[in-house]
Amino acid sequence: MPGPRSERPAVLFAFDEQADLGRRIARRLGWSFRGIDVHYFPDGESLVRLKGSPGRRPAAVLRSLDHPNQKLLEVIMALETVRREGATRRILVAPYVGYMRQDAIFRPGEALSQAVIGKLLGRCSERIVTVDAHLHRVSNLWAIFRRPGSNLHAAPLFAPRLRSLQDPLLIGPDEESAPWIAALASASRVKGVTARKKRQDDEHVAVKVPDGVRIKGRDLVFFDDVVSTGNTAIALAKVVRRKKPRSMRLFATHAVFAGDAEERIRAAGIEEIVSSNSISHPTNGVDLAGPLAEALGRPRVQSG
């Protein structure tokens, strides 16, 4: 059920790369929609400009924080601007939030980037809405941002695509993927397993699929929350293709695809890649507008 009117933003601002997603969210909720312009000076500085004022009403700012070194500062400036322009509450809608993987200090002197970014974004917003955030060592968004938040789960949204396959087998790349694999397997009513992954460095991983799993002649679907270098998917493909699957596909919530990752994934024999539109990319095939609108229409919560 929707919360009190004061808990629901009446205007949604979106940066250009996610304007279409923003319009669909706003349309579902009956909110106003406004864009955000960014002008770049010759020295690389950004000038952020709202296309309209929020007035005395709550406001949401939509932007995924891939390529975060550039986008974070621009989002912070946008959130501060809606406050100055009269917004009564500020909600950050960031379907993807970067800098979440460094959630522990592994060597002396390392920055704890998750905590640093959490403090920055928490100080300039009253609520956070995101999708499949990296919460492997914390229990919920409150622990990172010290703000109420909604962490949505995209895996079940891929179920129709999985059900359409002939003899599908769902494979997660590691133990950390088990919750997503369980959710998608349940929604699709297909078998799901998780591989074991050992990361050797930023560019190399080793994976092992559980023994006794039938692979020959099946449509394999690898699911991961974030695909960045693609090395995990490529390693999985190399392991299983010797067992002669019928096909191999990769589904992912966040399509980061650094460098030539997409080309390398396809070269490994993965014939189809499907991502959500948390990050704008040609592989987008699952729309988050509905779940994001539903979350924004609910009372603020402190959820994981």
The region, left, alpha or beta by phi > 0 then psi within -120 to 50, assigned to residue 233 is alpha
Share of the chain above pLDDT 70, in %: 93
**pLDDT per position as a tens digit, 62-117:** 999 999 999 999 999 999 999 999 999 999 999 999 998 888 888 999 999 999 99
Whether 155-286 and 5-153+288-296 are alike in CATH topology: the answer is yes
pTM summary value = 0.90
Q: At what angle do helices 289-296 and 19-29 cross, to 10 degrees?
A: 50
Convert the pLDDT of each residue in 156-203 to its tens digit.
999 999 999 989 999 998 888 898 999 999 999 999 999 987 766 655
For the domain spanning 155-286, the CATH number is: 3.40.50.2020
Per domain, the residue ranges of the chain are: 5-153+288-296, 155-286
264 φ, ψ to 5°?
Answer: -70, -35
Please, which residues have CB within 8 angstroms of residue 239's CB and are 6 or more apart in sequence?
195, 207, 208, 209
CATH 3.30.390.50 fits 5-153+288-296, yes or no: no
